[in-house]
Amino acid sequence: MTRADSDRPGVVDSGAPAENVAAAEAAITAPEAAETAVPPAIVAQSLSEYVHAQVRRVRSGDSGLLPVVLALIIIVVVFEVISPNHVFISAGNLVNLFLQSAVFMVLAMAETFVLLLGDIDLSAGYVGALGGAIAVQLVQPTTTNWPWWAAIAAAVVVCAVIGLAQGTLITRLRLPSFIVTLAGLLIFNGVLLIVLALGPFSGYPSLQGLSVNLHAIADMMQGHVSPLVGWISMIVIVGGLGTSIAFRDNRRRRSGLVAPPLGVTIAKIGLIAAGGFTVVFICNLNRATVGTLEGVPYAIYIVLGVLAVWTVLLEHTRYGRYIYAIGGNAEAARRAGIRVARVRTMAFVLCSFTAGLAGILYAAYQGGMSNNVNGGQLVLYAVAAAVIGGTSLFGGRGRVANGVLGGLVIGAIYNGMFLQGLAVQWEFIVTGLVLIGAVTVDALSRRGAASSGGARP
């Protein structure tokens, strides 16, 4: 989740003349506009200034990742204090918590694409579940017996095609996404039941068995790498990310472009390294009550991989820029020559595609697929996760990293309530309250931005 800290591509200096720029930069720092709405990273000259600017920004309501991180810390502390034998912060439970959150995280990342446009995809839960069911059915040794990778590929392609169909209806016929995907929710719930009923395990195809392909899919959630591989991969990821951030910030500072102060860069890299170390350290503790169970779960790599790829797509490519532009002002995007319908359709494709991945993770976690899956609730949790994480329901604001953090919040509530022995009704109520809090922050921040000189609609 640290990948999202990198704002700009690690490209090499293009060598254009910079003298002029320095003058221009000096000229445009005269304070006039509303201070509060400006991200601190672009005005602060030192680490302490950065912190102060960040505090000001939170007060004004436009707060980035801070509220969700605070919420997460509060939830963790509260549950640790009240959980029986303080089991909440144990290695076993934390890894468990992550696995329980993984489906929400990936589904929330899926939903981010359409939320950024100001749309919503209510069908993502059942479309994802359908993807999971297809993958599970295709690897059954007694029927099709496909290799695991082919089954996964087929599942996500089916989901992408579903997204294409829904997106086409929404953008070409100009139907509201809420209604089209509500219909999709019903339709694909039905299709899911049909797919589940195929084959010998009518209604309950399982990933139990001796076949390599069954295991491969189940291992996406249940398997893990060896402790040594965990450390090596952590060093590679943190090193690569840290180096690229350091080079980029340094290059931009030297060429007079907008860049965070050196202290912030160092703090950022330090946080990434500390985060990576903590995660691998916890995962490498033996979390079995009997025998040995240690190592970083594959699921963490899968979530990080999805996060990295979608972050690059959304923040460093033209396509991603166009999604934000359409979410901010569709008419402006159209006049800038952006093919709005095509970009929006593609967002629904990416949403359903990613939902398919989430559905496969769901199946892997459950050890199979059954008609008990509640796709309607899953998708609402995913939207809640995205919004809790800081993605706006009104479009134009948010990142996939928000979905990951929001998914972690929902997973933590679910996990903590379960440890308390509280029944599911309390989990619903608390999650609902957190969601209300998140939407309030979203709405207040928009109002804060509007009153501090902006002209947000």
Partner 1 sequence: MTVEGTGGESNVELLAVRGLSKSFGPIQALTEVDLDVPAGKVTALCGDNGAGKSVLIKCIAGALEPSEGQIFWEGRPVRIRNAHDAAELGIETVYQDLALADNLDIVQNMFLGRERLRHRLLDEDSMERAAAETLATLRVTTVRSIRQPVGSLSGGQRQSVAVARAVMWNSRLVIMDEPTAALGVTQTAMVLDLIRTLRGHGLGVIVVSHNLNDVFAVADRIAVLHLGKMVVQRDAAGLDRQTVVEYMTTGGSGPLPTPADAGRPA
Contact flag: residue 164 with partner 1 (CB under 8 A): no
Residue with Cβ nearer partner 1 (421 or 457):
457
Q: What backbone torsions phi and psi does residue 80 show, to the nearest 5 degrees?
A: -65, -40
* DSSP category for residue 334: H
Contact flag: residue 275 with partner 1 (CB under 8 A): no
What's the half-sphere exposure (Cβ side, CA atoms, 13 Å) at 424? 1
Contact flag: residue 13 with partner 1 (CB under 8 A): yes
Give residues 47-106 in contact with partner 1 (rule: CB under 8 A). none
Q: What are the Cα distances from residue 78, in Å, to 74, 86, 93?
A: 6, 10, 15
List 144, 222, 244, 452, residue binding partner 1 (CB under 8 A): 452
Residue with Cβ nearer partner 1 (224 or 399):
399
List 134, 158, 238, 325, residue binding partner 1 (CB under 8 A): 325
**Closest distance between partner 1 and the C-beta of residue 337, in Å?**
4
List 56, 215, 253, 316, residue binding partner 1 (CB under 8 A): 316
Q: How far is CA 96 from the centre of its chain?
A: 18
Number of DSSP helices (H) and strands (E) in the chain, helices first:
17, 0
d(CA 444, CA 440): 6
Which segment (20-28, 130-138, 229-237, 370-378) binds partner 1 by CB under 8 A?
A: 20-28
d(CA 156, CA 162): 10
Contact flag: residue 451 with partner 1 (CB under 8 A): no
CA angle 314, 318, 320 (to 5 degrees): 20
Q: Are 352 and 126 in contact (CB under 8 A)?
A: no
Place of tokens 């929330």: 108
Contact flag: residue 46 with partner 1 (CB under 8 A): no
Contact flag: residue 240 with partner 1 (CB under 8 A): no
d(CA 109, CA 401): 8
Contact flag: residue 186 with partner 1 (CB under 8 A): no
d(CA 457, CA 447): 10
List 205, 242, 396, 407, residue binding partner 1 (CB under 8 A): 396
Residue with Cβ nearer partner 1 (398 or 403):
398
d(CA 228, CA 284): 9
Contact flag: residue 170 with partner 1 (CB under 8 A): no
Residue with Cβ nearer partner 1 (125 or 448):
448
Residue with Cβ nearer partner 1 (340 or 430):
340
Residue with Cβ nearer partner 1 (12 or 81):
12
**Closest distance between partner 1 and the C-beta of residue 115, in Å?**
13
Nearest to 94 by CA among 103, 104, 86: 86
Contact flag: residue 33 with partner 1 (CB under 8 A): yes
Contact flag: residue 318 with partner 1 (CB under 8 A): yes
Number of C-beta neighbours around residue 82 at 10 A: 12
Residues paired with residue 224 on neighbouring β-strands, in sequence order? 297
Nearest to 72 by CA among 161, 162, 1: 1
Cβ burial, residue 162 (10 Å; 0-12/13-18/19+): buried
**Closest distance between partner 1 and the C-beta of residue 4, in Å?**
16
d(CA 426, CA 265): 41
Residue with Cβ nearer partner 1 (101 or 265):
265
List 9, 147, 190, 270, residue binding partner 1 (CB under 8 A): 9
List 27, 81, 210, 290, residue binding partner 1 (CB under 8 A): 27
Q: For the stretch 300-339, what's the b/e string if a residue is b when 16 or more beta carbons lie within 10 angstroms of its beta carbon?
A: bbbbbebbbebbeebbbeeebebbbbbbbebeebeeeebe
Q: Are 367 and 206 in contact (CB under 8 A)?
A: yes
List 5, 43, 153, 157, residue binding partner 1 (CB under 8 A): 43
**Closest distance between partner 1 and the C-beta of residue 119, in Å?**
15
List 251, 267, 275, 294, residue binding partner 1 (CB under 8 A): 251
Contact flag: residue 175 with partner 1 (CB under 8 A): no
Residue with Cβ nearer partner 1 (252 or 342):
252
* Size of interface with partner 1, in residues (CB under 8 A): 58
Q: Are 192 and 363 in contact (CB under 8 A)?
A: no
Residue with Cβ nearer partner 1 (43 or 266):
43
Identify the three-state secondary structure at position 297: strand
Residue with Cβ nearer partner 1 (31 or 421):
31
Residue with Cβ nearer partner 1 (24 or 87):
24
The contact set with partner 1 (CB under 8 A) reads 7-9, 11, 13-14, 16, 18, 20-21, 23-25, 27-35, 37-39, 42-43, 251-252, 255, 257-258, 312, 316-318, 321, 324-325, 327-329, 331-333, 335-338, 396-397, 449, 452-457
